[in-house]
Amino acid sequence: MSVLHDYFRAPDPSTAIDWAVGPGGDWHQHGGLDDYGADWIDAKNLDPFVVLGQLIAFARAVPFDARSTSTALLWPDEQAWPYGVQRPGRESPWDEGLTLVRLPEEWVTALAEISDEQMPRLALRWKDIEEIRFAEAADAEGYIEVFRALARRARDHGQGLYCKSVV
CATH number for position 115:
3.40.1760
For 87, residues 6+ apart whose C-beta sits below 8 A from its C-beta are 81, 94
Rounded to an integer, the average pLDDT of 37-43 is: 95
**Domain, as residue range, for 134:** 4-166
Number of domains composing the chain? 1
Q: Is the pLDDT of residue 147 over 60?
A: yes
- Assessment of whether the complete model's pTM goes beyond 0.85: yes
Q: What H or E segment, with its residue span, contains residue 166?
A: strand 160-166
Is there a contact between 122 and 59 (Cβ–Cβ < 8 Å)? yes
In this structure, the dihedral spanned by the alpha carbons of residues 150, 64, 17 and 95, taken in order and rounded to 10 degrees, is 130
Give the integer Cα–Cα distance in Å for 120 and 109.
19
pLDDT tens digits for 92-107? 555 667 899 999 999 9
